[in-house]
Structure 1
Amino acid sequence: MRRRRSGLARGEALTGYTFVAPNLVLLVVFVLVPLVWAAVISLERTNGFGSGQFVGLDNYTRLVRDPVFWRATVNTLLFTVLVTPLSMALGLGIAVLLDSVLPARGLFRSILILPMAISGVATALMGVLVFDQDTGVVDKVLRAVGLPAISWQSDGTAAFASVVLVTLWWRVGFNMLIYLAGLQAINPELYEAARLDGAGGWQRFRHLTVPLVGPSSFFLLILNVVYSFQVFDIVFVMTGGGPQNATTVLVTYAYDNGFVTGDQGYAAAIGIVLLLLTLAFTVVRWRTSRTRDLVE
């Protein structure tokens, strides 16, 4: 009997490994191998796409003394701090409205989800049409009503704001969709009980809705922070990192070093630092979250 059970267990394990093997192969080939190779390149000095010279931690020492790297790091963190909470708050607010008796809910859902079907490059091109300081829609409207136009590409603050606004338009729909799924999984009897106890709309939102969508918030927080750390396409198309590095983020700076100046070793070092920042945030958030596994 024991031999039969052990044989069945080995058979089940073999079947499981057979199904998982293709994914493991893809993970190793397209994630693990490039990651290890990037770590190796980050220890070399390169000049173009030839063989590099091993320099140890010189590239990382150079990062510490590089003011553009620190500017890109600050911009990345600022972008994350602005986009993540704003997109999540807007997504939750819209999801609450669409989960209620709002008229034409289906139409509004479709409109808000539509940006999800558009690539980041296409979104950025639309952002250029809206925020271009010479021919953009926003400045044309401002001039038409007698207000001064905004130098979206010449002023650093305005350029950064335009990137944030376009990113919010692109990301809010996804956050709304996840929150809407979480809201629809909540038992309506909880809200009815809260009403009977005299809880108002804000109290129900604060003490019921927000805690019960905790798993959705945990998922979206990790996803939005990772996306914000890796933002590239919208910044690259809309501003190219300018003016004067006002919108340069870590990924665009790594791109400039790796593919413009040909310093792949330094670009790889920037990528490794970005990976470590992302992993550190994810681990800390995982260990400190009390709502990721919350169920009704």
Structure 2
Amino acid sequence: MDAKEIKRIQKRKKYKGIGFVLPWLFGFTIFALLPSIYSFYMSLTDWGLVGPNEGFIGFRNYVTAFQSSDFWNSLSVTVRFVIWAVPLGMAASLTSALILNSNVKGVSIFRGLNYVPTLASGVAIAVMWGWIFSPHGGLLNMIIGVFGFHGAWLFDPKLVVPSYIIMAVWGAFSGFLTYLVAIKEVPRSLIESSRILGMGYFERLFKVTIPLMRPILIYNFIMAIIGGFRKFSDAYVLGGAGDSGKFYMVYFYQQAFGNFRMGYAVALAWILFVIVMSLMLIVYKRTPFWEYYSGMKKKKVKKHVRKA
């Protein structure tokens, strides 16, 4: 085979690769890239669903948002929720995975039951929690009433965000699957070696298992942050103690479909996009996410475990 034939084969493979990519590239351009560009243009207009529009207004929507107390309040509520719900939810999911990883007879049944809540709709779960948190005859008040306590929960400005955090942590227990897979991917040889070295369960957990789960932990951390900032369904259904329970997405929805200020709402969406992307860049910058331990040499893995 001469050099010309080799080049011809390489070009044919290159064109085949481009041909396979083109359908995805076409779909991405039509359904993602162009709508994103147009939505940014919409954020620079006074577009409303009803009534007259001024057209292009520049960055006035962004200035209006930063000068709005409702904007800062909704962002503050959401940030406080994310700060508490994300680490507590991850801890709940990891705990659930560790429990369900045990070699107990019938544990597969409990795995299935633990996953059931994810099949229910967000509205149905919100209605259930609305009954639990009800200040009049709610399940939670019935339980703590035995000890002489009572709470208004969703109707108390001081308890509304903690109430939603409790809901998030409960929901996180069913998000154990990725953690369970990561636990099972930890090399058995390292677990046995740690036992030979005399490590107890918790020492082995924090020095061997969790360090080797880092890629999954960071992935779930990122997804939890995104989900926290996008919290909407239960917050919209249940509401809260006035503005104390108004999350960012609820404020966005009210501006878009309540006040029909679509241009302003799109500006709010872009502000949220910048906030979330900034957090993601910080996470990627500060965390060695791309380390893939299964492909490492044993010495490198053991070195990392010793550092942990």
Is TM (by shorter chain) over 0.5? Answer: yes
Give the root-mean-square deviation of aligned CA atoms: 2.1
Normalised by the size of structure 1, how large is the TM-score? 0.90
- What is the Cα deviation at residue 179 of structure 1? 0.8
Counterpart check, 1:94 vs 2:99: no
In structure 1, give the amino acid aligned to 2:27. L
2-structure distance, mates of 1:230, 1:33: 23
2-structure distance, mates of 1:7, 1:275: 45
Q: Is the 8 A contact 2:65 2:71 kept in 1?
A: yes
Out of 231, 249, 252, the position equivalent to 2:250 is 252
In structure 1, give the amino acid aligned to 2:227. Y
1-structure distance, mates of 2:4, 2:235: 61
Tell me the residue number matched to 1:165.
166
- What is the Cα deviation at residue 40 of structure 1? 1.0
Among the aligned pairs, what percent are the same residue?
A: 24
- What is the Cα deviation at residue 141 of structure 1? 4.0
Tell me the residue number matched to 1:183.
183
1-structure distance, mates of 2:19, 2:42: 34
- What is the Cα deviation at residue 68 of structure 1? 1.2
Partner of 1:54: helix, strand, or coil?
coil
Deviations 1:174-222 (A, max 9, x none): 2x11111001011111111111112122211111011000011011111
5 Å matches for 1:13-52? 13-49=14-50, 51-52=53-54
2-structure distance, mates of 1:232, 1:102: 38
Unpaired segments ≥5 residues, structure 2: 295-308
Deviations 1:54-83 (A, max 9, x none): 111111111221111111111111111111
Tell me the residue number matched to 2:71.
69
Q: Is the 8 A contact 1:219 1:292 kept in 2?
A: no
2-structure distance, mates of 1:127, 1:2: 71
Counterpart check, 1:216 vs 2:233: no
In structure 1, give the amino acid aligned to 2:127. L
In structure 2, give the amino acid aligned to 1:107. I
2-structure distance, mates of 1:107, 1:151: 36
Unpaired segments ≥5 residues, structure 1: none
2-structure distance, mates of 1:26, 1:251: 27
Partner of 1:100: helix, strand, or coil?
coil
Out of 78, 85, 88, the position equivalent to 2:87 is 85
Partner of 1:157: helix, strand, or coil?
coil
Q: Which runs of 4+ in 1 moved over 6 A?
A: none
Q: 1:75–1:207: structure 2 CA closer, same or farther, 3 Å change rule?
A: same
Between structure 1 and structure 2, the one with the greater Rg is 2
- What is the Cα deviation at residue 18 of structure 1? 3.4
> What is the total number of aligned residue pairs between the two structures?
292
Tell me the residue number matched to 1:3.
4
Deviations 1:120-176 (A, max 9, x none): 223222222322333533234445x374442133212322222222222223322x1
In structure 2, give the amino acid aligned to 1:96. L
Q: 1:14–1:238: structure 2 CA closer, same or farther, 3 Å change rule?
A: farther
